[in-house]
């Protein structure tokens, strides 16, 4: 066993004082202090931390904890899926394999003796958050954003039902969030059955012009050789015909504001415009018009200027229609998803906008003009931002879609001050700050949250001792005992490696990076569980 549930460190060198108080400091962090007992008095050997979610935020938190605490910590990192890495596996585009290399770093963290991975454990089903908190000194929530912002417009939902069966019968298109589409092409088990059939879709409207929208556009428009060698899910690759078997001929990137306010970054935009064989242009020439304020913004911000230049250049270079067209629909706010007689998507109605500095602090907002256009399409992807889901027993800010926190310390209420922190509970990543930033942003974020854990160490150890006696909470040993008792099929790192090797071998046989398993049941079978 890696960690005895009641293992303690006997202090031979505590700094006793006549006032009867001693403390342990490690790496400059006050780990423990208490009323001085006999020379043989003992303190918990380790701080037991449980992280919920094994995406980039979770693994960077592991990294920071190990660096801060050395041997005086044990970290259990949980995932609801049998697979680790969260957004890196299910979010990063398959043609961005370099970005996925960060999993090498995460894998070495997971094999560290101070760390245990527990996959296929769903908090709320297999174990409650209150139980996790009772078993550990600290719990860090890092389960990301698994839902979506809504447009809130007519036609966004299926007119009669949202069941997959009916959406399927409506010709392969429909309205999906970009997260659903990204999960679908990345083989996330929850999205494998989405009724998307690109062989029946000629035109797609993507609402929003952030980097996720560009990922979706690349997948829809690129020639097949871009994705065939990658780990794009086989069901997405298999669709008949060319590029992903799709009939897609045009993609409309619908942005409610102008090119200067586009949320995407120049590197990703250039990749779409230069590497994917598309002919790109604005849907109407005046969509490149910019105000004086925009011109000033471009002068001040190189990234904004670069995005504008890329769109202008594409406009100048375009030579009529091509096999695959990309249309920038700037200054167009979606107001309704239009449905055909059978309920299937027929188009999206947009209102032309002007951008004015009417937002808080003079920020540029889109103001409707009362003039409307229709973009014909069979598939609408809402790429307007992810949203986190609440966890029973933990405060949640529904408006912002995050867990309320102060620098990573979870608050008991949405609007609260530091005195109402939920002791021992922390948050990191998109769940903490909202769905922004690249994978590396989570490193800085994790540093901030772990700094709070470190500052609270004294109190955490004291609380653990008060409840559990001098040995403190049982941590991993207690958690695995509980899960075993409940019959949970826990995928530890050894079992995940069986699945990992299986996927890589299957991919190699097909000349691909990896052939992903997309069904949890099959994943567990490959992980060595009997599925009787």
Binding residue positions for NADP(+):
256-257, 268, 437
Residue nearest to ligand NAP (CB): 210
Site string for ligand NAP, 135-154 (x = CB under 6 A): --------------x-x---
Question: What is the nearest approach in angstroms of ligand NAP to the Cβ of residue 337?
Answer: 12
For residues 385-424, one letter each, b for 16 or more C-beta atoms within 10 angstroms of the residue's C-beta and e for the rest, the string is bbbbeebeebbbbeeebbbbbeebbbbeeeebeeebbbeb
Q: Which is nearer to ligand NAP, 31 or 269 (CB)?
A: 269
Binding pattern for the stretch 434-453 against ligand NAP, x by CB under 6 A and - elsewhere = -xxxx---------------
Asked if 404 touches ligand NAP (CB under 6 A), the answer is no
Among 54, 103, 261, 287, binds ligand NAP (CB under 6 A): 261
Chain centre to alpha carbon of residue 347? 29
Q: Which of 474, 476, 450, 440 is nearest to 67 (CA)?
A: 450
Take residue 385 and report the two structure tokens written for it. Answer: 């931002």
Q: Please tell me what DSSP assigns to residue 86.
A: T
How many other CB atoms are there within 10 angstroms of residue 296's CB atom?
A: 12
Instruction: Check binding of 329 to ligand NAP (CB under 6 A).
Output: no
Give 233's Cβ-side CA count (13 Å radius).
Answer: 24
Residue 83 binds ligand NAP (CB under 6 A)? no
Question: Quick one: CA dihedral 357, 363, 368, 371, positive or negative?
Answer: positive
Number of neighbouring beta carbons within 10 Å of residue 474: 22
Give the one residue of 137, 170, 226, 257 binding ligand NAP; rule: CB under 6 A.
Answer: 257
Length reported for the chain = 532
Which of 89, 256, 332, 349 contacts ligand NAP by CB under 6 A?
256
Question: Torsions phi, psi of 527, nearest 5?
Answer: -75, -5
Q: How many CA atoms lie within 13 A of 373 on its CB side?
A: 16
Least Cβ distance, residue 144 to ligand NAP (angstroms): 11
Binding range to ligand NAP, per CB under 6 A, among 21-29, 103-111, 128-136, 433-441:
433-441
| 202-210, 288-296, 405-413, 418-426 -> range binding ligand NAP (CB under 6 A) | 202-210
Closest separation between CB of residue 173 and ligand NAP, Å?
A: 20
Helix (H, G, I), strand (E, B) or coil at 333: strand
In the region spanning residues 338 to 377, those forming contacts with ligand NAP, defined by CB under 6 A, are none
Is residue 266 near ligand NAP by the rule CB under 6 A? no
Q: How many other C-beta atoms are found inside a 10 Å radius of the C-beta of residue 521?
A: 11
Query: At closest approach, how far in Å is the CB of 119 from ligand NAP?
Result: 24
* Position among 47, 255, 314, 523 found at the interface with ligand NAP (CB under 6 A): 255
259 is an interface residue for ligand NAP by CB under 6 A? no
499 secondary structure, DSSP code = H
Residues at the contact surface with ligand NAP, assessed by CB under 6 A? 149, 151, 207-213, 215, 255-257, 261, 263, 268, 334, 383-386, 435-438
């Amino acid at each position: 066993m890696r960690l005895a549930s009641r293992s303690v460190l006997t202090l031979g060198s505590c700094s006793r004082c006549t006032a009867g108080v001693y403390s342990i400091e490690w790496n400059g962090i006050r780990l423990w202090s208490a009323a001085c007992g006999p020379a043989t008095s003992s303190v918990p050997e380790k701080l037991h931390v449980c992280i919920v979610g094994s995406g980039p935020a979770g693994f960077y938190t592991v990294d920071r904890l190990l660096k801060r605490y050395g041997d005086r910590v044990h970290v259990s990192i949980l995932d609801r899926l049998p697979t680790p890495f969260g957004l890196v596996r299910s979010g990063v585009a398959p043609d961005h394999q370099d970005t996925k290399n960060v999993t090498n770093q995460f894998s070495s963290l997971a094999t560290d003796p101070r760390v245990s991975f527990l996959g296929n454990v769903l908090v709320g089903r297999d174990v409650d958050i209150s139980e996790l908190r009772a078993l550990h000194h600290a719990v860090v929530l890092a389960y990301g954003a698994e839902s979506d912002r809504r447009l809130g417009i007519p036609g966004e939902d299926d007119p009669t039902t949202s069941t997959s069966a009916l959406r399927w019968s409506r010709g392969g298109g429909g309205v999906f969030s970009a997260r659903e589409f990204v999960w679908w092409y990345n083989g996330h088990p929850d999205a494998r059955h989405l009724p998307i059939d690109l062989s029946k879709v000629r035109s797609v409207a993507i609402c929003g012009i952030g980097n996720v929208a560009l990922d979706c556009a690349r997948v829809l428009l690129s020639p097949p050789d871009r994705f065939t060698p990658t780990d794009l899910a086989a069901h997405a690759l298999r669709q008949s015909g060319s590029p992903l078997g799709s009939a897609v001929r045009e993609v409309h990137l619908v942005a409610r504001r102008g090119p200067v306010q586009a949320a995407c970054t120049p590197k990703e935009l250039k990749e779409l415009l230069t590497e994917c064989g598309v002919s790109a242009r604005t849907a109407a020439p005046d969509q490149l018009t910019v105000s004086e304020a925009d011109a000033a913004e471009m002068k001040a911000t190189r990234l904004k200027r670069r995005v504008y230049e890329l769109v202008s250049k594409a406009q100048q270079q375009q030579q009529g229609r091509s096999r695959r067209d990309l249309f920038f629909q700037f200054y167009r706010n979606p107001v309704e998803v239009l449905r055909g007689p059978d309920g299937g998507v027929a188009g999206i109605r947009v209102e032309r906008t002007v951008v004015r500095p009417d937002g808080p602090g003079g920020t540029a907002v889109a103001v409707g003009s009362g003039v409307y256009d229709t973009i014909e399409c069979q598939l609408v992807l809402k790429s307007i931002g992810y949203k986190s889901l609440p966890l029973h027993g933990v405060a949640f800010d529904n408006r912002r879609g995050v867990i309320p926190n102060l620098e990573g310390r979870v608050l008991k209420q949405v609007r609260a001050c530091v005195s109402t922190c939920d002791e021992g509970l922390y948050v990191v990543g998109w769940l903490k700050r909202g769905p922004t930033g690249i994978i590396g942003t989570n490193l800085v974020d994790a540093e901030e949250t772990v700094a709070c854990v470190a500052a609270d160490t004294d109190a955490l150890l004291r609380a653990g001792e008060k409840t559990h006696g001098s040995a403190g909470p049982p941590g991993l040993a207690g958690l695995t005992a509980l899960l075993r008792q409940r019959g949970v099929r826990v995928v530890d790192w050894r079992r995940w490696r069986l699945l990992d090797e299986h996927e890589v071998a299957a991919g190699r046989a097909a000349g691909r990076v990896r052939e992903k398993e997309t069904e949890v049941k099959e994943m567990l079978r490959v992980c060595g569980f009997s599925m009787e």
